[in-house]
Amino acid sequence: MIRKIIATATLFLLALSSWADYNEDRLLETNSYLKELKQQLDEEREQLEEIENTKKQLAEKIDNLNETIDYQKKLIRELTLQSREAREAVMAMDKEMRTLEVELRKLRESIEQSNIYLIDNIDYVNVKLLLFSKHSRDTIKNMEIVENINLQLIKKVSAIKEKTTRLEQLTEEKEAKAKDLEHLVRVKRRVMDDYEAEQTRLEQLVAVMKEDEASKNEYMRLLKEKQEEFENKLDRIRKKIEREKEKEEEKKADSSGFASLKGKLDWPVRGTVIEHFGPKKVKGFKGTIQNKGIKIRPGKSGEIRTVYGGTVKYVDTIRGFGNLVIVRHPDSYFTLYANMDRVNVTVGQELAKGQAIGTVGVDLGGVESYLYFEIRRHNVAVNPAEWLKPL
């Protein structure tokens, strides 16, 4: 029978160990995956930083391009204005040249007509000048006047020709300048088109990077959710492993420590149990109260002894309990002794099994005397009757 119990306990411990190994594997696997998630998050953060830096650089380039484009537009406007003014000057000069040409043509016609008349009627003119001139001197003078008139007309023609020639030169210069300005405007427009194309390209690149950034942020959000999920899972597995280890330790303790003494502990004082563990009816009270220990009325001896070796954790006098001693035993077990007349131990004192810790009255002349005794695991009271040796 004992061998069967030992074999069953061994199988249970092996199963528990296998379960613990399984949980350990899950813990390692989850921890490994969590590390991968953290590494991915770090990589995504680095890429996001690169995107942010690139965006800043592109923003600076776009700002510079905007300034350049604004300057080029201003320059084109100025050049266009100069070109228009040059064209208007050329048109004004053309108009003036046409006016001079008309004037020149009229002068030429006038000179031609006058000279043709003189040539055709030279004899008549000479006779007329001779007849109507009183003196030869007047005749010469009149002939000189005619010649002077012709000379004045010729000078005026020459002046008009010079002015026309000068206007033609200025027109050519203005025309050349206008063409140069128009060519420069075309070149500037092509340059500006290139700038605007580059600006569009950079803006499109920024837009793509923003989309990429949004996508990576969403991916990071999912990774963080996964990380949080696996951290919680990891925490649950750790806690589960800890609980399993605690259970394993408890089982080991139950098979070898204080727990193995269930039903084998010596009584703290020899006597009779006058109140048992569990529900208790109280006179004048409709319900019941929970008795967490037992009351033992002592027999011949009132000497109180510890049921097992341990350390004194508490000594004090408490209303309703009288003098009280709490002893801590292995595997988080505690025993409580109360309603003592005398206490022989101090806090921190190490006790051996069966060592005297105090006394309780035996015969108090009609006054009922008893020892109140509890056994607790952690902070949970257990039934002392199940732990003490049968009387």
Q: Are 174 and 86 in contact (CB under 8 A)?
A: yes
Q: Are 373 and 323 in contact (CB under 8 A)?
A: no
Q: Which helix (H) or strand (E) is 303 found in, with range? A: strand 303-305
CATH topology of domain 2-236: Helix Hairpins (1.10.287)
Q: Are 340 and 358 in contact (CB under 8 A)?
A: yes
pLDDT at res. 308: 94
pLDDT at res. 11: 39
pLDDT at res. 296: 94
pLDDT at res. 15: 41
Going from the first residue of the chain to its last (391 residues), give the mean pLDDT of each consecutive group of 10, the final group possibly shorter: 39 43 65 76 81 83 84 83 79 78 74 59 53 56 65 76 79 82 84 85 84 82 82 82 72 66 93 91 75 92 93 92 93 93 95 95 71 93 94 77
User: Please, what's the b/e burial string for 2-30 (b: 16 or more CB within 10 A of its CB; e: otherwise)?
Assistant: eeeeeeeeeeeeeebeeebeebeebbeeb
pLDDT at res. 154: 76
pLDDT at res. 370: 93
The CATH number of 263-386 is 2.70.70.10
pLDDT at res. 294: 96
pLDDT at res. 66: 85
pLDDT at res. 226: 80
pLDDT at res. 327: 96
Q: HEC string of 311-358?
A: EEEEEEEECCCEEEEEEEEHHHEEEEEEEECEECCCCCCEECCCCEEE
Interacting residues of 24 by C-beta distance below 8 A, sequence separation 6+? 241
Domain ranges of the chain: 2-236, 263-386
Helix pair 2-120, 122-132: axis angle to 10 deg: 60
pLDDT at res. 14: 41
